[in-house]
Structure formats: C-alpha cells, structure tokens
C-alpha cells in the first residue's frame, strides 16, 4: 500500500510535515483544524508539496529526514532546487555525518 509524505505551509509561513495513506483526507482534516495541535493554531494551511512513497515505512523515514533539514534546505527541496548528494547524509546532534 502506498503512502504520502506531505508538507503544509501554515498562515505564519512555517512548515508542517507528516505522512498519511490518504493525502486528500488528511489535508482536509488539517484545514478544518482537526489535523494536529501545531496546525490548529496556524490556520489556514495549504499543501506545499507531497511525495508518493512505496509504503508506510518509506514515508515515515522520508518524513524524519525532511524534518531534519534547515529551513533553507526545506525551501529548496519544495522548489525542486535541492542539490543531489552523492552519499547518504544523516543529521546527528553534532551536525551532518556522512555514511
């Protein structure tokens, strides 16, 4: 079963990232103020971008990786301007660690 990673842009310009199996329903839920505590206080929200993933596990992993990006990196990814990385990189408390 496929799943989605989605990014919402809130009224204050902040981003909310999540994953779901039913993208349209989840976005509607956020827009009506029932989607999450964070978005409830920042209505209205709009869908900035969504990526289809093969399954729940892949979507959850992609959500975590997106949340670790800086705001500048998130904006670049949303615009499709992100640089391709030749090696996998994971953020640790000390910064980026190359695997």
The mean predicted confidence, pLDDT, of the chain is 88
pTM here is 0.80
Residue extents of the structural domains in the chain: 3-98
β 15-20/46-53 pair status: unpaired
The structural architecture, per CATH, of the domain 3-98 is: 3-Layer(aba) Sandwich (3.40)
What's the rounded mean pLDDT across residues 43-72?
A: 97
- 7-36 pLDDT, tens per residue? 999 999 999 999 999 999 999 999 999 998
Q: Is the confidence at residue 82, as pLDDT, over 70?
A: no
CB neighbours of 68 closer than 8 A, spacing ≥ 6? 90, 91
């Amino acid at each position: 079963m496929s799943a989605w990673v989605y990014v919402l842009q809130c009224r204050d310009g902040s981003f909310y990232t999540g994953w779901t199996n039913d993208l349209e329903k989840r976005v509607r839920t956020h827009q009506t103020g029932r989607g999450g505590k964070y978005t409830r206080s920042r209505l209205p929200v709009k869908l900035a971008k969504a990526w289809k993933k093969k399954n729940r596990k892949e979507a959850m992993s992609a959500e975590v990786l997106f949340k670790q990006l800086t705001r500048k990196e998130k904006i670049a990814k949303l615009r499709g301007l992100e640089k391709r990385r030749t090696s996998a990189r994971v953020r640790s408390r000390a910064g980026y660690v190359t695997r």
